[in-house]
Amino acid sequence: MMNDMSSYFVAEKQESVIFFVVGLMAIGLSLWLWMNGHRLKSMAYPLVVIALMQIAVASTIYLRTDSQLSTLSAQFQANPATLKAAETARMETVMKNFSIYKTIEMLLLIMGVGMIAFFQRHDVAAGIGVGLVLQAAVTLTLDIFAEARGAAYLSAVQGITT
């Protein structure tokens, strides 16, 4: 179980770095678009808004992961039954939240594609659509991986014998 726990939290921390870098890249691209007066510079709106969320979430996960792993490891050593109950409840909530996140990300992706398809002659709308597609696709992809990791970890937690 300790290996499963460690692997899960190390991967969470690694993915938080990816989210952080994606956020920074989105902000960098936005600055470039605005500075160069690109016709689709309006894609910066969703790029920056979502990037700020990505950076905030990534920072939170990165900064709390080591202490969270340490606390859970000590709890597992002291009382596996307590850890099993608490982590099962927490991870079930995390897994339910992934359904919400994926739904939102898919809606943003569909909205972005729709804006590109139906408003391609309107630079502002098309730009916003491109920005939504880029951010929603990347975020959805990363969340699918995170959800799979979460399911494997939850299964390991539920398998703890007490």
pLDDT score of 99: 96
Q: How confident is the model over 78-119, as pLDDT tens digits?
A: 999 999 999 999 999 999 999 999 999 999 999 999 999 999
**Residue 79 tokens, joined:** 């009382």
- Residues 91 and 158: their CA atoms lie apart, in Å, by 10
Phi, psi of 73 (to 5 degrees): -65, -45
Phi, psi of 159 (to 5 degrees): -85, 0
Q: How confident is the model over 14-68, as pLDDT tens digits?
A: 999 999 999 999 999 999 999 999 998 999 999 999 999 999 999 999 999 999 9
Full-model pTM? 0.89
pLDDT score of 30: 97
- Residues 84 and 75: their CA atoms lie apart, in Å, by 10
Domain count within the chain = 1
pLDDT score of 161: 87
Residue 137 buriedness (CB in 10 A; 0-12 / 13-18 / 19+): middle
Of 153, 157, 158, nearest to 9 by C-alpha is 153
Element (H, E) at 82: helix 80-118
Determine the structural domain holding residue 140 and report its residue range.
2-158
User: Do residues 26 and 49 touch, judged by C-beta distance below 8 A?
Assistant: no
Q: What is the DSSP letter of 79?
A: -
- Residues 118 and 121: their CA atoms lie apart, in Å, by 8
Q: Report the sign of the C-alpha dihedral through residues 48, 33, 19, 98, in that order.
A: positive
- Residues 94 and 147: their CA atoms lie apart, in Å, by 9
